[in-house]
Structure 1
Amino acid sequence: MTSSTANSSPRPQELGAVLVTGASRGLGKALAELYAGDGWRVLACARQQLPGAAASMLPYPLDVSDAVSIETLGKILEGTAIDIVINNAAVRGDTGGLMSLRADDFMEVMRINALAPLLVAQALKPNLLAGRRKLLVNISSRAGSLAEGTLDDDDGDYAYRCSKAALNMATVKLAQDFQREGIAVISLHPGWIRTDMGGPDAVVDIAQSAQGLKGLIDTATMADSGSFRAYDGRTVSW
């Protein structure tokens, strides 16, 4: 496999473009800033403006809950080579358990957390094929693991758990489908991080998580495609 695939990380002088969804806050913002700081051209996608963004951070409007918005992004970026796409945008939804579950909330969480990453992959596949790294990253969660998701966590967030389990299957399926074209696809668990979603009681600092995830992303190869790992490098069971 040549250096045009995810099998080899680019040398510093070869740094290209990385696209991050949900880049206006939380983990997405932290990842976008890390890559911008390293000299990558960052395509920072979000519904909101990005005040004070680095010159290498190019803002693009994107509402991942809207299929038309995702399709429009693909058209805007037609012909643009992208080395890494990071599907980060997500919502948590209701956490009250079965009795507070509502259809609209559940479907909205599924649409954003599970369907949108597939639509992003569909829209930006030509861009990845034109890039050097050819890497698609789905920010998932251990909460979506059938084997580990409830071992030490009894929160009642049915929608979030189901959506991340679906996203993990999407990773496996995309990895299978994209293998012949040299695009690697991985799922990553960021840990329980202190963000608006994770809350103040979370145990992982956002900078620690972002650095760990970036390390995994930067060293990912085709041999890692279809895998599920945590920010600290541990393999997470499906």
Structure 2
Amino acid sequence: MTSSTADSGTVLITGASRGLGRTLAGLYAAAGMRIIACMRQASPAAEALDVADEGSIAALGERLCGQPVDIVINNAAIRGDTGGLDTLETGDFLEVMRINALAPLLLARALRPNLLAGRRKVLVNIGSRAGSLAEGTVDDEDGDYAYRCSKAALNMATVKLAQDFRRDGIAVISLHPGWVRTDMGGAEATIDVAESAAGLKALIDATTLAETGSFRAYDGRTVAW
């Protein structure tokens, strides 16, 4: 998915084949930005990217060498097992951690030169309130150990990246999209994907170094770590 007015800037989005990622891509394309939509299956309108594969991430960085990217949105994620401690399985847990916590770090490293060459210089990690130690279990008793641990790890990755990238002028933020009606969120979720995406885009578009290292919800509320 690529707009015809690339000089308005470039946004790279992982997990752009459906749900929140696809909706964000549509919003930025409508705003006149070039979209680098990343998904497992390559197409004329998409870059092939398997976020579970370190080699695939490195290859993406090589293909994009020298191309400025204004905004990177680490959106790709999986839920994993939700049965609680009794059904926790090592392979599933590690896969969730690899995709949800490690992949955004590898992508940040691979795409750092592209962000440095861009005008906006914003790196976005789509996090979750479920990974908040302060708020994650207040009104939620789901047994998704791997998902919660991965999003808590992603929160720390956001803070560390914000420290490391500040000297480059790159802002790094974590955003909670809410409980969204997508394949992951399910039909019972309370927030429409269009509402969540619009709120996230507004926050991203307003992000400067003053917001780096912050954790906010789609509606602008600060989420406690």
TM range (shorter): over 0.9
Q: Secondary structure at the match of 1:20?
A: strand
Partner of 2:73: 86
**Residue 42 in 1 paired to residue 35 in 2?**
yes
Asked if residue 126 in structure 1 is aligned to residue 117 in structure 2, the reply is no
- Structure 1 position 14, deviation (Å): 5.4
SS of equivalent residue, structure 1 residue 209? helix
- Distance in 2, matches of 1:88 and 1:149, equals 19
Deviation at 1:228, TM superposition (A): 0.1
CA distance in 2, matches of 1:13, 1:117: 25
Query: What code does the residue aligned with 2:186 have?
Result: G
Q: 2:164 aligns with which of 165, 177, 181?
A: 177
Deviation at 1:161, TM superposition (A): 0.1
> Normalising to structure 1: TM-score of the pair?
0.91
Matched-pair contact (CA < 8 Å) for 2:178–2:191: yes
Per-residue deviation, residues 40-61 of structure 1 (Å, max 9, x unmatched): 00000001356xx9xxxx4100
Q: How does 1:99-178 map to 2 (within 5 A)?
A: 99-178=86-165
Report if aligned partners of 1:24, 1:49 keep a CA contact under 8 Å in 2.
no
Bigger RCO of structures 1 and 2 (CA < 8 A, at least 6 apart):
1
**1:15, CA displacement in angstroms?**
1.7
Q: TM-score, normalised by structure 2?
A: 0.96
> Match of 1:77, as an amino acid?
L
Distance 2:170 2:115 in 1: 7
Q: Compute the RMSD of aligned alpha carbons.
A: 1.3
Q: How far apart in 1 are the matches of 2:107 and 2:99?
A: 11
Q: Would you identify which runs of 4 or more consecutive aligned residues in structure 1 move more than 2 Å?
A: none
**SS of residue matched to 2:46:** strand
Inter-partner Cα distance in structure 2 for 1:216 and 1:71: 29
Q: Mark the runs of 5 or more structure 2 residues left unpaired by the alignment.
A: none
Q: Distance in 2 between matches of 1:60 and 1:95?
A: 31
Report SS of the residue matched to 1:187: strand
1:235 partnered with 2:219 = no
Q: Paired residue for 2:17?
A: 24
Cα displacement string for residues 142-185 of structure 1 (whole angstroms, at most 9, x for unaligned residues)? 00000000000000000000000000000000000011110000
Q: What percentage of aligned pairs have identical amino acids?
A: 71
Take 1:96 and 1:126, find their aligned partners in 2: how far apart are those partners? 41
Question: Would you say 1:195 and 2:188 are equivalent positions?
Answer: no
Check the 8 A contact 2:6/2:34 in 1, yes or no.
no
